[in-house]
A and B are shown apart, each in its own frame.
Chain A
Amino acid sequence: MFQTSLKYPSIERFDEYFSTDLIVIDGRCHGVTAIEMRTGQVHLFRSKCVIIATGGAGRVFPFTTNGAIKTGDGMAMAYRAGVPLKDMEFVQYHPTGLPGTGILITEGSRGEGGILVNKDGYRYLQDYDLGPPDPWPRKKAMELGPRDRLSQAFWHEQKKGRTISTDYGDVVHLDLRQLGEAKINERLPMVRELSSSYIGVDPVYEPIPVRPVVHYTMGGIDTDVDAATSVEGLYAAGECACVSINGANRLGSNSLTELLVFGARAGRGAAKFAMCGVAETNDQQIQAAAQAAEDRILQLFRRTGGTESVSGLRRDMNDAMEAGAGIYRSEDTLQACTETLQQIRERYKDVLLTDKSNVFNTDLIGALELGSMIDVAAAMACSALQRKESRGSHQRLDHPERDDAAYLKHSLAHYSATGLPNIDYCGVMITRSQPAERVYGGAQE
């Protein structure tokens, strides 16, 4: 895709510019401010529309498949600019990540016939309404069940003491040995390479230790089916957005399709909007807003002193989220989590930034990313606290059942200066597929 984009000289790229704030005046977006990382200069990009495609926020959690840059900055920008974040409580744990690094072991390994066993060598998923175990492989059963159910099964096995203990926490085993070397080399060469290099396990001979790791943020910037947000001229597409296409649990490969469909819709929508006459813009207001954004950044950059480190705060936030808003949540854990996040927000005001260089200052960028993550984490935790039911990837120990009467709706987290969002709800668009019981395994037949 990147290479094809080089074909169009009308696409002008600004590589390694870190966007910080949307310029929104009277419900309309007029552009964005961004730091040119190599010089430290803050630029105002004035535009008729903005499309946000900044990805998810997995880095809010400690164990994640996500790359370092997935810190929810685009979500936070829209959030602070008044766009609600929808369905933030739905965070997908992918059931098979490597312990420690969180490196993703693709679902394809189960699709090709891999099985998950606990410390007794038992295919435990049959105990969680996903069986019977044979014939195997079989769609929508056992290891090919949905990701949320598999991650939840791990949690239960862990509670029963049936997971395997390692230096990097508890794991279960993903066994590919029955596939044979030839098939593994042909269909899953990357799995073999990753497993061999990163944990010294060759799946041809040994089962791979895996555990659920945060993978995808179903929630995000509230958009409609044309990728438009409630702010005029502002669009969002991809993992940072929530149309919602993925509901409470995303199916494998749908994120890629989502990018293609909604990326195109966002592009078309934005182009159409840009071409149909522009409302009067108040230059002064725009400049003032941009200046305010730059001042905020400079204030952070020029801070001297401080007792908190970016990495320390980040670690505390990660721990709070894993403990409080992990695979299974409860009133107590979520409450504690939101309180801790509020404390971290306070402590953030005392952060120490040692790097005073203008050139490629990753200390500053790291601090800005942390700020985004604290906001996004609060949206996740508060939305989860308010949703007193279990649905898909949001599981409450104190409300284990799905409650369509009260909660068949999308949550909307609205930014507030206190740090804790105001949560309200909007209806779910139901057309052809009617809500029903989710059944897998033998029960489907």
Chain B
Amino acid sequence: MSRRPYIREPSKTGWWLAQPRYIRYMMREISAVFIGIYIVVLIVGLWQLSRGEAAYIKFLATAEGPAGLTFAVFAMLFAIYHTYTWFQVTPKAMPLTLGSKRIPGAFIIAAHWFGFVLVSTALWLLVGS
């Protein structure tokens, strides 16, 4: 006779502050922004490199200045967080079975980290020094 269902709306902007898991999620999403900006920085670097030594040295001076380094550190931390969260979810998206047994998620995640370290080390050796 007198129903009046009550709707409790979440805050459109602040909903993610309500729970730690939402904050972690937003950090994961924001990490992409930092990675994106860093890629832009790399592209600018390449472009400056193409304009000659002087331009490139000027670019490096900015990139290796205090602001540049601070940004780079943050970007790297976010990149590692991004990588960590991405690897964590891979078993969910691609469940693998060997015969009839499900391959444990931990194994898949470990394999990704192993591959990551392998590729990073290889690149470092190739172009690092």
Contacts and interface: CB of A to CB of B under 8 A. Distances in A.
**Direct chain A–B contact by Cβ atoms under 8 Å:** yes
Interface of A: 38-41, 358-359
Interface residues of B, number: 3
Contacts of A40: 1
Contacts of A41: 1
B2 interface: yes
Nearest to A41: B1
Contacts of B3: 38-39, 359
Nearest to A38: B3
A358 B4 CA distance: 11
Interface string B30-62: 000000000000000000000000000000000
Contacts of A359: 1-3
Q: Which 4 A-B pairs have the closest CB atoms?
A: A358-B1, A39-B1, A359-B3, A39-B3
A40 B2 CA distance: 9
Contacts of B1: 39-41, 358-359
B4 to A, nearest CB: 8
Contacts of B2: 39, 358-359
11 contacts: A38-B3, A39-B1, A39-B2, A39-B3, A40-B1, A41-B1, A358-B1, A358-B2, A359-B1, A359-B2, A359-B3
A228 to B, nearest CB: 37
Nearest to B4: A359
B76 to A, nearest CB: 42
A350 to B, nearest CB: 27
Nearest to B1: A358
Given A39-B1, A358-B1, A358-B2, 6 more contacts: A38-B3, A39-B2, A39-B3, A40-B1, A41-B1, A359-B2
A358 B1 CA distance: 7
Nearest to A360: B3
Contacts of A358: 1-2
Interface string B1-42: 111000000000000000000000000000000000000000
A41 B2 CA distance: 10
A39 B5 CA distance: 11
Interface in B56-84: none
B91 to A, nearest CB: 20
A40 B3 CA distance: 9
A359 B2 CA distance: 7
A302 to B, nearest CB: 14
B7 to A, nearest CB: 15
Nearest to A359: B3
B101 to A, nearest CB: 12
Contacts of A39: 1-3
A40 B1 CA distance: 7
B100 to A, nearest CB: 13
Nearest to B2: A358
A38 B1 CA distance: 8
B122 to A, nearest CB: 41
Nearest to A40: B1
B9 to A, nearest CB: 21
A359 B1 CA distance: 8
A114 to B, nearest CB: 27
B104 to A, nearest CB: 14
A38 B3 CA distance: 7
A358 B2 CA distance: 7
B98 to A, nearest CB: 18
B84 to A, nearest CB: 29
A78 B39 CA distance: 75
A438 to B, nearest CB: 42
A105 to B, nearest CB: 28
B33 to A, nearest CB: 42
